[in-house]
Each structure stands twice: as structure tokens, then as C-alpha cells.
Amino acid sequence: MMWRAILGAAVLLVSASAACGYGTERWQVKTGTDRDARSVTNLPKPTSIAELTSIVAPAHPDARRNSRFPPTELTTFQVMGTLKGIKREVDDDYHIVIADPANPRMTMIVEAP
């Protein structure tokens, strides 16, 4: 059960940023120290890996290096997944691979600081 809490926290911090491929360049958003962090809704919205991976990445992510892209990055998501792997990256974050329990071929990478 503990890994589910960890994954939930990771999704809270990064929500859509995993799909955008952010690294240290959006570190404030990733760690929740950006100027919009207080605007994030704390009540989790249940979702699926399929729904999260369908989110379209912003055209110009560098336009908001220290602020979030609403509404996605102001939303806390709750997702069920099977932990497939964790890898520490050179930009000092962790890539956490999770798979959809109903469709193990559907995976996503969650980034966590």
C-alpha cells in the first residue's frame, strides 16, 4: 500500500509534466515550490493511466518555467497502477514506470523529485 501513496504523491507533484519530459528546467513545478503551488487542488481526482497519457503536452513548456499550465497542473490526480520500475535520472529525479492494472501494456512514466 505504501507504494500507492508514493505514486499518488508523485502524480500530485508532476501530473502532466511527465508527458512533457521536463527535467531540472521546471524543477520548481516538479517539487511544488513554484508560485502556483498553493493553487493546486488537494482533493484527488480519480483518473486512469490511459486518460493521463492522452493529455496533450503544451506547445511551449519553457514559457512557464516557474508556473503551472492550468487546469492540468493545478489538479491532483489519483491513479491506480502496478509498479514496473524506478530509475534515478541524471537530472536528480526518478522515473517511475507504472502500468494500468486492466491493461498491463498501457504504461506511463511518472517523474518524482
Residue 106 pLDDT > 80, yes or no?
yes
Q: What percentage of the chain exceeds 90 in pLDDT?
A: 56
Condensed to tens digits (0 to 9), the pLDDT of residues 43-59 reads 999 999 999 999 999 98
Count of CB atoms within 10 A of residue 21's CB? 12
* pLDDT band with cut points at 50, 70 and 90 for residue 26: confident
Say if CB 16 and CB 40 are below 8 A apart. Answer: no
Q: What is the pLDDT of residue 90?
A: 87
| C-alpha torsion sign, points 8, 14, 15, 20 | negative
